[in-house]
Structure 1
Amino acid sequence: MSPLDAASRPDPWRRLLDAVLNADNHSLEEMADGADTSPFHFTRQVRRGSGEPPIALRRRITLERAAWLIQRGTSVTDCAFDSGYESVEGFSRAFARAFGHPPTAMPPATDRGHWLPAPNGLHFHSPTVLYVDAGTANEHSAGDVVALMVRHDLDDTRELLSVCGSVNTDDYRRSRLVGHQVLPWHGPEESIAAVATRLVRTKLPWLATVEGSPAPDLDGPDDVASLRGEHERIAPRWLALIREIERADAWTDVVIDALCDPPESFLMSQIVAHELTFAAHRRQLIRWMLSDAGIELSTATIDPDPIMWHRRSWHAES
């Protein structure tokens, strides 16, 4: 299926949201039925697109709607039963846990005073609008360039490592660029094995610096199975770091890397830009080396272009 074919289809994310927020869907099973899928697959899709499980997403949006109505004069009792709660007491407890005060203490209407913290920018805005806050848009939004590039890097690395698994040992370790170095302090990267190893492990020193962890071992096993396992462990840590930097608006914060000799200071923005730059370079090196080994990559399944990756990842589960 071409990107144009995919783009002409109904928005799959909107279909999922409709199933989550449909007033008649009170359970996970009913939501999944509304999206014509299984509860397991539905939960995975919603989590992937929003960062929230469907029940939690529905509960938060419902409470935001209730707060919006209370600000505009609707009684707590009416809001409780309209929101699907069996009692006013149960609604008031849920409301207080979410907002930090009971519904009777809801302040007067403000522009967005009824919003709760969200990992995805999705909020109730009015009876006819679901607002997507550009400042915290979900990971499939094309608006957040950093999020798009970070996810593309991790997904592309995963796909390339999978292809590397089909290369025989001699080709995997054969020197193809004699004396080549991406960065002097990383040493020679002449083979698929060497480039793949650095691609996977160069995030580890940064993670150790920010997390305060011991210096990592960058010279462990370099077989494909080991690198794939490492990548799956490193990727969520790296994503968590990026999300925390974004959440705290900490791009200009400074870390002092005591693992350097002598210690150096770096901006968070410098660290992420550095990794994205050289990860992209190494991924392209691996592509060239795989081609040199006689393995042609199909862009239908593994594409270096973040535009095509974003379109495919957005429509893949529609």
Structure 2
Amino acid sequence: MSALDGRITEVAVGAPADGLVLDVDDQGPPDGDVVVLLHGFPERATCWRDVVPRLHAAGLRTLAVDQRGYSPRARPGRRRDYRADLLRDDVVSVVEAAVDRVGPDRRVHLVGHDWGAVVAWLVAAERPELLATLTTFSVPHPGAYLRAGVRSKQLLRSWYMAAFNVPGLAERMAQQPGGRFEQLLARTGMTPPELARFRAEVVEDGALPGGLGWYRALALSAGAMGAGRVRVPTTFVWSDGDTAIDRWGAEHCGDFVRAEYELVVLTGVTHWIPTQAPAAAAEAVLDRVASLG
């Protein structure tokens, strides 16, 4: 961990011999309660850029993390390096670094979108003592997601996961600007500016193979994905324009939380909540933080 004027700018993760380092964008009041922000696929920490000013205005400090596969110094090449337990432990390292810096008696507020939500659920289930609250966007608790696969159209909505597991297919689709990969993202609701950011920050910067590694390691992650019940005050936010996540999983997410819980449904919003509904995203986080009194 390094710091500039007390800021956390990087966190070493994994085994020391691996030499993996995650980049962290630490902003906001230095003495504010800490909110750790986890992005999803195929985005990076910049997806929170319109959310964090609203959190800072409320006195919160934000740590937006470029996760494994995305941070330039944390892009291992093996499929097994993207197992869910390793992704979870990466975030635990970030949270522990934050707790060490602000004091052991202060827990952090954990926030995640898409794949970042999955990892946030895993951290909350395994290490609740580190967290004050949990707010997740788009992807429900893994247990609800798996149940939705047999009780709704979730499997049909998740067809792209199989395509992402074909070696080299997604990489070839993404080579051409405006090609099939970007067309797929556009059908999920990504706007032209968001597609341009995807091209610059993920494809051209070399982060796409690492991001795809999260999908390709799913077969190796069965144990870790069986997350237990969450005992942290939680808000789950789902949008009715989400083409990837079925309503059933969203509505049954609360079955896996044994603490104060709220489901927020955004109307007319696509899957990309942090970039397309930043005010609503920030409000959900702030309401959950305020629920502690």
- Verify same fold: TM over 0.5: no
Range of TM-score over shorter length: under 0.3
Bigger CA radius of gyration? 1
- TM-score normalized by structure 1? 0.25
- TM-score normalized by structure 2? 0.26
Higher-strand-fraction structure: 2
Higher-helix-fraction structure: 1
